[in-house]
Structure 1
Amino acid sequence: MPGFFKIILLCLTFATAGFPQKTTGVWDVVAFGAKGDGKTMNTKAIQTAIDRCHAAGGGKVYLHNGQFLSGTIYLKSHVTLYVEAGAVLLGSANVNDYPSTASKYPAYGGELVTEKMFIYAEDARNISIAGRGTIDGRGDDFNGPYLSPSFSGRPRILHFRHCEDVQIREVTLRNSGSWVQFYQSCKNLVIDGITVDSRENKDIEKFRHADAKGRNTDGMDLVDCQLVRVSNCLINSGDDAICLKSLSPNEGCRDITITNCIVSSNASGIKIGTETSGFFEDITVQNSTVFDTRVDAISLMTVDGARLERINISNISVRNIKGTAIFIRLGARNRPYRKNAKINTGILKDILIENVQGTRIGGYGCSITGIPGSPVENITLRQIRLTFDGSNKPLLGDDDRRQPVATEPPAVNEVVPEKVEAYPRGEMFGRLPAYGFYIRHGRNISLENLALDYVDEENRPALVADDVDTLEIVGLKAKASPNVPELMQLKNVRNSPNLPKPN
């Protein structure tokens, strides 16, 4: 009799295997052979769980109670990858566990292949990553060229291409090999409550790569994406924290809101650019903080032919910015990212930046600049209060070759080079002739209620404008330097007869 019951029980076990998962919509990776011991390779087990979940119509693939080692996994439509609090999805330290993947869509350099990613999705719908757990990219274990478009040898953590209805919620993404998150041509994307902790060379008071080689670990890249909501995120990244890009002259970023985020970076904090081929429009950034950041706090630019318009930035607090607080640039580098692509003519207009407060801002000076024949247009700065270090305090940034900038204060660049084709960043002109704002090649520029101050000795005026058609200044309050006779210097400023004397 006992043996008979054992046979029946065994038959029932086989007959009902998998039914609890289908009933509840949860596919536990442990049921597919995964082990959370941090040593066993679980790529096949996790992928099988995802495939079965997808085939059944969707649900949750569940990781819990352990460290699950894996190589590249492919997320599929209607699947949520859920990493429970305390659990870790741990990237393999072997670069061969991250294969190249053929794609229908061109990558960064135009090739139809994607290199080295931990979690990848293409043409997927209704996908998500959630939970209070951690996804660890093991970036410290990889080497590779810093600026290689393919990032050979350094895997990204997330790379989603041409996906719709995507949600990333609450997880921690840490220690990536290159870009932490790369969303390309995605639509209806929600990123909420996540933490990015992927910053080599964490000490902002040292030079950028003083302790370790950089890995170009952007915290979040939104590339030609539309209908995006980013909120409540904490991002500490080795390169740009939140960055919008466009790689295709026929695509762009549109209908995007970024709110309630706290960011810190070894490059720029909140940035549109530098890859700027298509368009950027109807974008709002608000209620956020940028601190301990090496290049720019807020930077808006188009240098590869993109049209950039209707950008609204408000209620931003910045602190300890080694570069500059606000950088707006229209240039003509005209780099293509698609083979045989047409280069558009860059346009930058209809920008509103208001309610920005900042302190401990580096001594370069903020800038709003176009190029000869292509002015920036309809730029309004309102309620801006900034305190700068002063021109005699050493500059601690880095140039594009990652060499230290001269720490002794050089003579101010009285004649600012155009640098039409240069890589755009706040330090590109060196120490500007204004400690507050330098404006050149602009039309319809409005400055309302700006309060500008400095701490150390200053040898420059607060404001310099050159080749500006229609400049309005209302309620400027700026600390004057005893070493210069003017608070403002205006050169070739036209159609601005009512410029008041500053307070």
Structure 2
Amino acid sequence: MNNLINIFFLFLTLTTSGFSQKPTGVWDAFAFGAKGDGKTMDTKTIQTAIDQCHAAGGGKVYLHNGTFLSGTIYLKSNVTLYLEAGATLLGSANVADYPITPSKYPTYGGDLVTDKMFIYAEEAHNISIAGRGTIDGRGDDFNGPYLSPSFSGRPRILHFRNCENVQVRDVTLRNSGSWVQFYQSCRNMVIDGITVDSRENKDIEKSRHADAKGRNTDGMDLVDCQVVRVSNCFITSGDDGICLKSLSPNESCRDITITNCIVSTNASGIKIGTETSGAFEDITVQNCTVFDTRVDAISIMTVDGARIERINISNISVRNVKGTAIFLRLGARNRTYRKNAKAATGILKDILIENVQGTRIGGYGCSITGIPGFLVENITLKQIRLRFDGSNKPLLSDDDTRKPVPIAPPAVNHTVPEKIDAYPRGEMFGRLPAYGFYIRHGKNISLDNIALDYADDENRSAIVADDVDTLEIIGLKAKPSPNVSEVVQLKNVRNSPNLPKSN
């Protein structure tokens, strides 16, 4: 009899301790008391489901048939947060529902905390977010300084730190208060088939903040992450679309592929930089489209001491880019993001960009530039076809907190300033002396089968090179300007026997 009583009480304990379902591997949020009505806070019920799923060894936390209002949720190892089609995880409009949390890992500024995150994970493994549902960050309800996401009162949607075996699939991430996705020091990640819809000021033909204050809503930030596969994503964002960064001199972005993505942004489309402390190597970007983008379509830069090498970019289509199509920059801003850190000397080399076609590209001109004494090296551009607006079409200036660029045509900078420590972006030099490519402080630069054209009047050469050791130009097809006698201008170009002697 005593044994029967013990078995009865054990059964009663299991069925009343929060496991309101059999251990099928699926933890339904409704079974834990979630209302899903978009009005009642479901934070605790969702978190309880995650905690118990994790404690049981893992499984799926299931959101379906409702709108689940929540503050910060902490994702844990072996848990998949699954949003069924039609379900919405809706962020709270109360900034107090996104608490400051101590962390083992430093933030952007080096502090050991995290703040204002909708979904957060640290040192978790085998975590996933999946399904055809929507995660809505409620970004329109938050205010804060544009350039300071941390402690600004603007929550990010996803922030994962030092996590391994991460998958984010199929979901829609919309209306973030700040960076939409921020993955820091993570390894073995798959981001596939997601939609990012977080673009304030959607009309690219207006000034950048014409209708609403900007919120620095990067579509995807990969920070010191390794072994990452990003594919089949559609990203429209208020700031950079897909951006790789490094905040630690001892870490790196490495072994990353980005493929079959469509990007449209109010800043740059596909970007390596600008936060560039560690290394970037063995990165491939292919089969992507960038359109209706305000700054650069493709940009690769090191300005804080990073080493960037073995970058392969191919099969990119570009349309209506107000800045420029291709921007490569080695500078020396030398910002540090870790306490007591020192910036190293940057390296930018072994870059291959091929099969890029673009039209309706702003009149700045593309650029490949180092700084005196520090050259960009081994840069190959192959099979590039670009059509620019022309130098007499007014440039659309940027109206955020950075200094606006000159916009009055022709306003060409024939003497290009070095701007060694400046924030890097394609418009940083103003209207360059070349409508196609301006190359300075480089070594082993190859332009192979480049076709350059322009729509309106143009009063610049197609290519200008200055201080370049070994420049190769093969199969150039460039529309000449009636106002300039030289299609290609060379100054202090050395060891290039197939080119005319430079000035």
Q: Which amino acid in 1 is paired with 2:435?
A: Y
Please show how residues 65-144 of structure 1 align to structure 2 within 5 Å.
Answer: 65-144=65-144
Unaligned runs of 5+ residues in structure 1 are 1-10
Specify the alignment match of 1:35 in structure 2: 35
Specify the alignment match of 1:491 in structure 2: 491
1:32–1:386: structure 2 CA closer, same or farther, 3 Å change rule?
Answer: same
Deviation, 1:57, is 0.2
Q: Which amino acid in 1 is paired with 2:456?
A: D
The CA distance in 2 between the partners of 1:56 and 1:36, in whole Å, is 24
- Whether 1:297 aligns to 2:294 is no
Q: So what's the TM-score if we normalise by structure 1?
A: 0.96
1:232–1:294: structure 2 CA closer, same or farther, 3 Å change rule?
Answer: same
Q: Which amino acid in 2 is paired with 1:118?
A: F
Deviations 1:312-357 (A, max 9, x none): 0000000000000000000000000000012111000000000000
Deviation, 1:280, is 0.1
The CA distance in 2 between the partners of 1:82 and 1:500, in whole Å, is 62
Deviation, 1:498, is 1.2
Please show how residues 6-405 of structure 1 align to structure 2 within 5 Å.
Answer: 16=15, 21-398=21-398, 401=401, 405=405
Q: So what's the TM-score if we normalise by structure 2?
A: 0.96
The CA distance in 1 between the partners of 2:264 and 2:130, in whole Å, is 23
Deviations 1:403-456 (A, max 9, x none): 654442143101000000000000000000000000000000000000000000
The CA distance in 2 between the partners of 1:58 and 1:226, in whole Å, is 24
CA contact (8 A) 1:396 1:404 kept: no
The CA distance in 1 between the partners of 2:413 and 2:399, in whole Å, is 16
Provide the secondary structure at the position in 2 that maps to 1:462. Answer: strand
Q: Which amino acid in 2 is paired with 1:255?
A: D
CA contact (8 A) 2:285 2:314 kept: yes
11-20 vs 169-178, which moves further: 11-20
The CA distance in 2 between the partners of 1:489 and 1:373, in whole Å, is 22
361-370 vs 16-25, which moves further: 16-25
Q: Which amino acid in 1 is paired with 2:212?
A: A
Q: Which amino acid in 2 is paired with 1:183?
A: Y
Deviation, 1:279, is 0.2
The CA distance in 1 between the partners of 2:60 and 2:229, in whole Å, is 23
Q: Which amino acid in 1 is paired with 2:201?
A: N
Deviation, 1:115, is 1.2
Provide the secondary structure at the position in 2 that maps to 1:24. Answer: coil
The CA distance in 2 between the partners of 1:102 and 1:396, in whole Å, is 43
The CA distance in 1 between the partners of 2:204 and 2:170, in whole Å, is 26
Specify the alignment match of 1:448 in structure 2: 448
CA contact (8 A) 1:294 1:397 kept: no
1:246–1:98: structure 2 CA closer, same or farther, 3 Å change rule?
Answer: same
Q: How many residues align?
A: 493
CA contact (8 A) 1:76 1:124 kept: yes
Q: Which amino acid in 1 is paired with 2:221?
A: D
CA contact (8 A) 2:108 2:337 kept: yes
The CA distance in 1 between the partners of 2:336 and 2:401, in whole Å, is 21
Deviation, 1:229, is 0.2
1:379–1:181: structure 2 CA closer, same or farther, 3 Å change rule?
Answer: same
Deviations 1:127-173 (A, max 9, x none): 00000000000000000001115151000000000000000000000
User: Percent identity of the aligned residues?
Assistant: 85
Q: Which amino acid in 2 is paired with 1:492?
A: N
Deviation, 1:23, is 3.0
Unaligned runs of 5+ residues in structure 2 are 1-9
CA contact (8 A) 1:135 1:171 kept: yes
1:15–1:415: structure 2 CA closer, same or farther, 3 Å change rule?
Answer: closer
The CA distance in 1 between the partners of 2:296 and 2:14, in whole Å, is 61
Specify the alignment match of 1:4 in structure 2: none
Cα RMSD (Å) of the superposition? 1.7
